[in-house]
């Protein structure tokens, strides 16, 4: 996992974005070759390649160099390199260990892109070789595929930028939240659908068959299946998050199941200001719990106990301490994936199963953090 920083920083996608940005010129070359059979623009192409592959982030991961070599016909030194006696030689390959690791994860998408750039360069350099219609069509199909891949990332990037511009919690309220974010606890089997659909409410997820493995306590869940006037709906129509995930639920799960199957999703706390979001002063399954929609009621929660991280409180008793410790945030129907900031797992083995699902595309950092578990 030594390359996880490059993964979370999306260096792979950033490189693809640069190469995609410059594609119009490549497509112009292809169009020119197709329409006029003109292969004589190699000098312009050399300048273009230097502009693209000498950028800082690409230089960090690539071995790139353009030189001139004499044609085999010239056994003796024919003097300065010219078009008549020389070919261009392009060195272009993935060099850093991190980019090679990332490319394997992405099924060699970047390597195929590099081969495309190299092949096109050699074709234009040697204008005695021609490109047929089939080759040109394959190039265009490949370019369209890469564009689609990058657009998938950009869509979620734009959503996060919009989210950052929305109203946010004031610092005083934000500092009350123990880990600086809200938490959803789930099984690793559910991560793929969550990344695709967002975190769905109990009813929405179960009615549509999106829950692969249910880790919830069925007895507790039965008590949540009720209409709450303060929420304006059934509790199961809301997606629950914890202010402090190190609570009785996680303790029981860690004690009775394999920690390697448990995934913690850290959600942006500013979701508290979104539409149709409420919060509670305790576990929503307990009828004595109160629900609030006005952020001005934030002080009605027992922040001392929530931040303490222990429900064995002699002032309230263990039962009440357990209820208070499980104070929740409840979002109507679903939490879009762009609200998820981080994914935490217990082991590298679990992380290796999550990385191929590409949460980094969604701007979600992924890492191992044993201290967040019991």
Query: Across the strands, what pairs with 329?
Result: 241, 279
Final residue before a domain boundary, out of 163, 181, 214: 163
**pLDDT, position 28:** 73
Confidence of residue 316 (pLDDT cuts 50, 70, 90): confident
State the average pLDDT over residues 309-313: 81
Lowest mean pLDDT among 78-82, 213-217, 244-248: 78-82
User: Around Cβ 260, how many Cβ atoms within 10 Å?
Assistant: 15
**pLDDT, position 76:** 65
Map 168-219 to HEC letters: CCCHHHHCCCCCCCEEEEEEHHHHHHHHHHCEECHHHHHHCCCCCCCCCCHH
Residues 89 and 54 in one domain: yes
Residues 262 and 136 in one domain: no
Residues 127 and 202 in one domain: no
Q: Residue 351: is its pLDDT beyond 90?
A: yes
Q: Residue 115: is its pLDDT beyond 70?
A: yes
Map 253-300 to HEC letters: HHHHCCHHHEEEEEECHHHHHCCCEEEECCCCCCCCCCEECCHHHHHH
What CA–CA distance (Å, rounded) separates 131 from 135? 6
Confidence of residue 2 (pLDDT cuts 50, 70, 90): confident
Residues 157 and 304 in one domain: no
Residues 89 and 231 in one domain: no
Q: Residue 341: is its pLDDT beyond 60?
A: yes
Q: Residue 335: is its pLDDT beyond 70?
A: yes
What's the total number of domains in the chain? 2
Final residue before a domain boundary, out of 163, 181, 206: 163
Q: Which residue has the higher pLDDT, 128 or 103?
A: 103
Contact 121, 68 (CB under 8 A): no
Residues 65 and 155 in one domain: yes
Contact 262, 187 (CB under 8 A): yes
Residues 118 and 196 in one domain: no
Residues 118 and 212 in one domain: no
State the average pLDDT over residues 220-235: 94
Tokens of 11: 């260096």
**pLDDT, position 273:** 94
Nearest 5°: phi and psi at 181?
-165, 175
What CA–CA distance (Å, rounded) separates 353 from 343? 12
Maximum average pLDDT range among 13-17, 85-89, 150-154, 260-264: 260-264
Q: Which residue has the higher pLDDT, 190 or 39?
A: 190
Angle CA 316–320–321, to nearest 5: 75
State the average pLDDT over residues 206-220: 92
Q: Which domain covers residue 243, as residue numbers? A: 171-372
Residues 244 and 196 in one domain: yes
Q: Considering only CA atoms, which of 190, 243, 242, 253 is closest in space to residue 217?
A: 253
Residues 140 and 265 in one domain: no
Residues 85 and 29 in one domain: yes
Greatest CA separation for the chain? 95
**pLDDT, position 133:** 66
Q: Residue 132: is its pLDDT beyond 70?
A: no
In percent, the amount of the chain with pLDDT more than 70 equals 84
What CA–CA distance (Å, rounded) separates 352 from 347? 9
Mean pLDDT of the residues in the chain: 87
State the average pLDDT over residues 174-200: 96
Q: Residue 118: is its pLDDT beyond 70?
A: yes
Q: Render pLDDT for 74-86 as a digit per residue (tens, 0 to 9).
A: 556 666 666 666 6
Q: Residue 93: is its pLDDT beyond 90?
A: yes
Residues 155 and 260 in one domain: no
Residue whose tokens read 């070359």: 29
Q: Residue 312: is its pLDDT beyond 90?
A: no
Contact 334, 201 (CB under 8 A): yes
**pLDDT, position 349:** 95
Final residue before a domain boundary, out of 139, 163, 187: 163
């Amino acid at each position: 996992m030594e390359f996880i920083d490059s993964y979370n920083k999306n260096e792979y996608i950033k490189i693809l974005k640069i190469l995609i940005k410059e594609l119009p010129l490549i497509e112009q070359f292809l169009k020119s070759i197709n329409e006029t059979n003109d292969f004589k623009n190699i000098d312009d192409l050399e300048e273009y390649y230097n502009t693209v592959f000498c950028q800082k982030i690409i230089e960090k991961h690539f071995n790139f160099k353009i030189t001139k070599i004499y044609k085999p016909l010239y056994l003796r030194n024919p003097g300065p390199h010219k078009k008549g006696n020389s070919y261009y030689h392009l060195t272009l390959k993935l060099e850093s260990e991190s980019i090679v690791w990332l490319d394997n994860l992405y099924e060699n998408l970047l390597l195929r892109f590099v081969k495309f750039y190299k092949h096109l360069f050699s074709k234009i350099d040697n204008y005695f070789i021609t490109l047929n219609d089939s080759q040109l069509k394959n190039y265009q199909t490949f370019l369209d595929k890469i564009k689609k891949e990058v657009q998938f990332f950009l869509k979620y990037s734009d959503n996060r930028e919009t989210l950052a511009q929305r109203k946010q919690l004031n610092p005083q309220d934000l500092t009350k939240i123990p880990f600086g974010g809200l938490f959803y606890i789930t099984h690793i089997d559910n991560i793929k659908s969550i990344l695709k659909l967002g975190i769905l409410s109990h009813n929405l997820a179960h009615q549509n068959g999106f829950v692969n493995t249910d880790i919830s306590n069925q007895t507790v869940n039965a008590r949540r299946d009720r209409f709450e006037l303060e929420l304006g709906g059934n509790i199961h129509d809301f997606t629950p998050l914890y202010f402090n995930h190190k609570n009785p639920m996680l303790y029981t799960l860690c004690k009775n199941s394999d920690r390697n199957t448990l995934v913690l999703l850290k959600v942006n706390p500013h979701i508290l200001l979104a539409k149709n979001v409420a919060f509670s002063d305790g576990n929503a399954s307990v009828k004595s719990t109160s629900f609030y929609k006005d952020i001005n009621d934030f002080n009605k929660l027992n922040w001392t106990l929530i931040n303490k991280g222990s429900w064995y409180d002699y002032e309230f008793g263990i039962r009440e301490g357990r209820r208070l410790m499980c104070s929740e945030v409840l979002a109507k129907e679903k939490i879009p994936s762009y609200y998820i900031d981080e994914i935490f797992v217990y082991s590298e083995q679990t992380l290796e199963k999550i990385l191929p699902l590409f949460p980094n595309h969604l701007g979600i950092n992924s890492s191992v953090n044993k201290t967040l578990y019991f």
